[in-house]
């Protein structure tokens, strides 16, 4: 799936679109890739002498992959966007540095109406190690209600 196709499924845009490509997608699972070039804005302050990708960025990339997955499962979002409601059991196990590429795997584990429960794993391709794993939930929210906050 190209960047334009990804943008047609989720509302995220640069500089905060954190998925470069969809490697595979079927049913309740999606696999995405993201290459961190080192030009991303957060490296200037996290940390200037030893830049590393913040863990929350790895979580956000996973949630964006989940949003693409949900758009395929739900079909027409009908003016709604996926909004994260929780993250559980977050573990950071490997450092992702500028120049690294990660593989992001997200699986839908349960759905209750418009509430979705997913699990994510981010693997650092440079080391082959799991960089991050966690469970998260999101719900579909009307875009009008997100703008009034």
Catalytic residue IDs: 46
**Cα–Cα distance between 134 and 60 in angstroms, integer?**
11
**Cα–Cα distance between 109 and 79 in angstroms, integer?**
24
Which candidate, 141, 144, 146, places its Cα nearest to that of 113? 141
Sign of CA dihedral 95, 96, 102, 106: positive
Which tokens sit at 107? 């699986």
Which candidate, 42, 81, 41, places its Cα nearest to that of 63? 81
């Amino acid at each position: 799936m190209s960047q334009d196709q990804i943008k047609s499924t989720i509302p995220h845009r640069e500089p905060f679109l954190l998925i470069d490509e969809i490697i595979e997608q079927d049913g309740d699972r999606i696999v995405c890739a993201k290459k961190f070039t080192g030009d991303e804005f957060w490296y200037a302050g996290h940390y200037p002498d030893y830049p590393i990708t913040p863990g929350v960025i790895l979580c956000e990339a996973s949630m964006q992959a989940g949003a693409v997955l949900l758009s395929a499962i739900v079909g027409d979002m009908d003016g709604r966007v996926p909004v994260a409601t929780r993250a559980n059991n977050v573990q950071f196990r490997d450092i992702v540095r500028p120049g690294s590429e990660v593989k992001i795997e997200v699986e839908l584990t349960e759905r209750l109406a418009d509430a979705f429960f997913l699990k994510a794993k981010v693997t650092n391709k440079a080391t082959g190690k799991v960089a991050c794993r966690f469970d998260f939930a999101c719900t579909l929210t009307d875009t009008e209600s997100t703008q009034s906050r």
